[in-house]
Structure 1
């Protein structure tokens, strides 16, 4: 893929390790594991390159940080409050824009449970401080920022958060988050909160009265709403209450694999009918299927094609939800903290060490586009699912 204007910058290189912060050995950003590229002909690869050059390439959901190599150090790593962005990997990702979800509930600077207001603000400020010291990745708060980033050989960074537990019962905290650059916010992350039910709750009571007020405030502010981790009832209520389209930024179809982490047809259809978009998820052991129980780009794209058949090409995109480092190992480390086990379901499936073809942000979209080209999708349809559909929603939802 065409490289961005990357000058070799590494996170926090303006500070002195061991003096200004505690250093950790980080995972390798590129070629950490032998994940395979989708095989295409030379002619098809040329078409792939042209698609990247001519169209906006947007990830609806990722975490572009670099994990520590030794995951036993992860909680101490997080308590330092610094995340290393994978600039080298991003420079060859082909991305023009990424909805980056920071560290969300694992920003555990002041607590052991995450999702605290102080932790989220700390996490956000530290990440944006680092981004401000380089010029390849730029904070984006408008659709014009995204277009401009591509024109300038940069990557637009859209600040997103997967759950709203940290606003507690303070509606004006949404305004504060907006003022600090947040442009996409989830209702609940697995566990229920003041707004509504998460996907792990045994009884999802739906959007609360406060949650309804929060949805309306987000509409007024211009914050895109994400229901990826919300319970089914809360998801449907949010779609109904919102005056604007909403995102399912990273999920798949429960019809293909019976996991609460995936969405039932009813929710996917309701999202599309309101004009929204579902981004297909690639985090380990999520978008698997009965046909392809071993997680790979093939099972991932089976979810994509199912959703396209269900609601049409105008309502599907990609939110891979990948990172730089051992994602499977990180899930084991954070299983309890992020309710991962509770959302997986009870069906047995073969575990993988990494998701072949979708291991990290540097390879996800190049392989997605290769797969689409190889399987006969038109340039017009590819342009929609790799960015066009997302931009359409943003022009309706964001203030500008």
Structure 2
């Protein structure tokens, strides 16, 4: 395991819990669940460790916060406090050099995306916590990611899963860029002033305002994410954008027919733009016909499908994981916001309590690298999919 700069900092340790802020019992970052055994030999383990330590690894989408231990009962009270503890220790063992993190948590309170004031609060709270430690750094350029790798640190890229909060004010994109945001999703499942989300029965495509927003994001250097956009909107964005686009966390609808997955047409168009699709691992999303019980095996079925479809140079990983009970989070949000259909629609699958092998941000990239080693992928291909492909695209976008 590579040496990291992490020295034991815990979120908000500059304050007194219970006096300065409400304290919640949080999920463990380390050993919350048994280690997933991929059956590697000692030599294979050594090779996987070497590849991960010597090269840049980038998660295109994760939520590296510690959920409440009683997720369903406490989620919204915990979220309203706006002090989301970061999983610094778990991340220090992850092998990651950079992670794209959705820093606006207003989605937990609003079905139609985030509110402007809530997101500014979320950003400020997270960055305040970052300012009191010396392991995580705010990444605003490719140079920051390279520096994090060289210094044994973690570069966190501030992102937002949807653009509803800008309403019809394109200059808000400049404000977000100024605050450090470097990646924004066009729509978070529901339609907004830019275009349609994947939950819409009839996707009207990118609006005139959406085209202005795409142009401004290109001009600023904000990566555009299509993970939760509708199919027509996604294709319109790709056509309108002068720069490559990202699908930071999704899978292949040709393999698993749900709205949350992307059809071949969108995956191909993303690749033709020069972009990358990050393979998702949130519970009950990237299931496959050969592995209806969601584990690392079904996730990697989507990886192979996309690599065969568009070439391995256009595929990466955006696991979309938390430290804690992700399925409990889904249950709580479904009950409050009525969004269960995004997760549960589609072919029949075998329910799981967690995605074995890809359950949290601390284990995902180590296990992905191990899986690729176990299945005979070359060093060059492994280096590309764990971070090289993402880095190449970011150099063009930023």
- TM (norm. structure 2) is 0.97
| SS of residue paired to 1:196 | coil
The answer to whether the 8 A contact 1:107-1:120 is kept is no
Q: CA deviation at 1:2?
A: 2.2
Q: Which consecutive residues of structure 1, in runs of 5 or more, have no partner in the other structure?
A: none
| SS of residue paired to 2:143 | helix
Q: CA deviation at 1:49?
A: 1.3
Post-superposition Cα deviations, 1:186-237, rounded to whole Å, max 9, x if no partner, equal 0000010000000001110000000000000000000000000000000000
Residue number in structure 1 paired with 2:99:
98
1-10 or 268-277: bigger deviation: 1-10
Query: What is the distance in 2 between the residues matched to 1:314 and 1:162?
Result: 24
Q: CA deviation at 1:74?
A: 0.8
Query: What is the distance in 2 between the residues matched to 1:349 and 1:261?
Result: 15
Residue number in structure 2 paired with 1:212:
211
The answer to whether the 8 A contact 2:285-2:343 is kept is no
Q: CA deviation at 1:338?
A: 7.4
Please tell me whether residue 26 in structure 1 is matched to residue 32 in structure 2.
no
Query: What is the distance in 1 between the residues matched to 2:238 and 2:321?
Result: 26
Q: CA deviation at 1:102?
A: 2.3
Residue number in structure 2 paired with 1:65:
65
Residue number in structure 1 paired with 2:357:
357
> Cα distance 1:73–1:296, how it changes in 2: closer, same or farther (>3 A)?
same
Residue number in structure 2 paired with 1:173:
172
| SS of residue paired to 1:334 | helix
The answer to whether the 8 A contact 2:107-2:114 is kept is yes
- TM (norm. structure 1) is 0.97
Matches within 5 A, 1:1-400: 1-71=1-71, 72-106=73-107, 108=109, 115-335=114-334, 336-337=336-337, 339-398=339-398
Query: What is the distance in 1 between the residues matched to 2:88 and 2:150?
Result: 18
Query: What is the distance in 2 between the residues matched to 1:189 and 1:243?
Result: 22
Query: What is the distance in 1 between the residues matched to 2:184 and 2:112?
Result: 19
Query: What is the distance in 1 between the residues matched to 2:180 and 2:97?
Result: 18
> Cα distance 1:243–1:344, how it changes in 2: closer, same or farther (>3 A)?
farther
Query: What is the distance in 2 between the residues matched to 1:38 and 1:94?
Result: 17
Q: CA deviation at 1:53?
A: 2.0
The answer to whether the 8 A contact 2:38-2:370 is kept is yes
Q: CA deviation at 1:98?
A: 0.4
Q: CA deviation at 1:6?
A: 1.2
> Cα distance 1:350–1:251, how it changes in 2: closer, same or farther (>3 A)?
same
Q: CA deviation at 1:106?
A: 3.2
> Cα distance 1:340–1:315, how it changes in 2: closer, same or farther (>3 A)?
farther
| SS of residue paired to 2:337 | coil
Q: CA deviation at 1:91?
A: 0.7
Q: CA deviation at 1:347?
A: 2.2
